[in-house]
A = this chain, B = another copy of it.
Amino acid sequence: MGQCHCHKKRKDSQELTDVERAIEIVINNFQRYAVKGRKECLTPNELRELVVQQLPHLSQHVCSLDEKIECLGDPDEAKLEFGEYWAIIGEAAKGCRVKK
C-alpha cells in the first residue's frame, strides 16, 4: 500500500495547497503507526506511541487522553479506525485553539 494518493501531482498539474499538504501529513502519520493493522487501524499501544512521539504538546489539550486510550480495549489487539484517530486529534485541536 502506497502513501495517501493525494500527494501525486494532479493531472491539472496543480500542487496541493498548504492545508491539503498538512492534512496529508496527519493522514500519513496514522498510516506510519498503524503497522499491525496494515495502515487501516491502530492498536491502543500504537496510538500511545504516536501521541508520545508526535503530539507531545497538542496532547496536553486532551483531558484524560490516557484514560481514553485505556478504554479502547486490549492494548495490542483493539482496533482504532482512522475516523476515531481523527476525532481524537480534533478534540486536541479544539482544546488548543485560542482561549477566549
**Which residues from chain A sit less than 8 Å from chain B, CB to CB?**
1-6, 10, 14, 16-27, 29, 31, 39, 53-58, 61, 82-83, 86-87, 89-90, 92-94, 96-99
Contact = CB atoms under 8 A, between A and B. Distances in A.
A54 B16 CA distance: 9
A27 B57 contact: no
Copies per assembly: 2
7 contacts: A16-B57, A22-B23, A22-B25, A23-B89, A26-B93, A83-B90, A86-B93
A19 B25 contact: yes
B22 A97 contact: no
Q: Looking at A3, A22, A87, which has the most chain B CB atoms within 10 Å of its CB? A: A22
